[in-house]
Amino acid sequence: MFTVKQIEEAHHKVKSGADFLQYIKEIKNFGVEKFETFITDSRTNYFGKNDFKTSSEPQYENLYISDNYNSTEFESQLKKHQKGETDYFTFCKDCAENGVEKWVMNLIDLTCSYYDKSGRIVLVEKIPT
């Protein structure tokens, strides 16, 4: 199976949202089927076949997640990030400020689902291939 070290090495190649698709392809080749990232500290759970799971350590000090989801601002910041206009940490701060608690990337269905603090899916995007 895959290791967090392999995934982190692939992630270090990502400089902006514009590099994200290559990262997804690389970790999918490792056997990652799904991962969930928690905005508070960027700790991530990675899932593979046969109930395999591994988790990363927190990546930064805890961010406060707003209680209120702001769809207009979040979607605007998401588009900027996807164009390569912001780095990863800036995007995580934008998520927190706009009430996004985590995202779940499904590499089988090629979707990314964003969740608010109540566990409600607030946005689902198709990952471009």
Mean pLDDT of all residues in 98-113 = 96
For residue 119, pLDDT beyond 80: yes
Collapsing DSSP to helix, strand or coil, 37 comes out as strand
Q: Which of 106, 60, 100 is nearest to 77 (CA)?
A: 100
CATH classification for the domain delimited by 4-126, as one of 1.10.357.10, 1.10.1660.10, 3.30.1810.10, 3.30.930.10:
3.30.1810.10
Mean pLDDT of all residues in 13-19 = 72
Q: Which of 124, 125, 74, 63 is nearest to 98 (CA)?
A: 74
pLDDT band of 17, cuts 50, 70, 90: low
pLDDT band of 16, cuts 50, 70, 90: low
For residue 31, pLDDT beyond 80: yes
Instruction: Evaluate whether 11 touches 59 at the Cβ level (below 8 Å).
Output: no
pLDDT band of 127, cuts 50, 70, 90: confident
Q: How many CB atoms lie within 10 A of CB 37?
A: 20
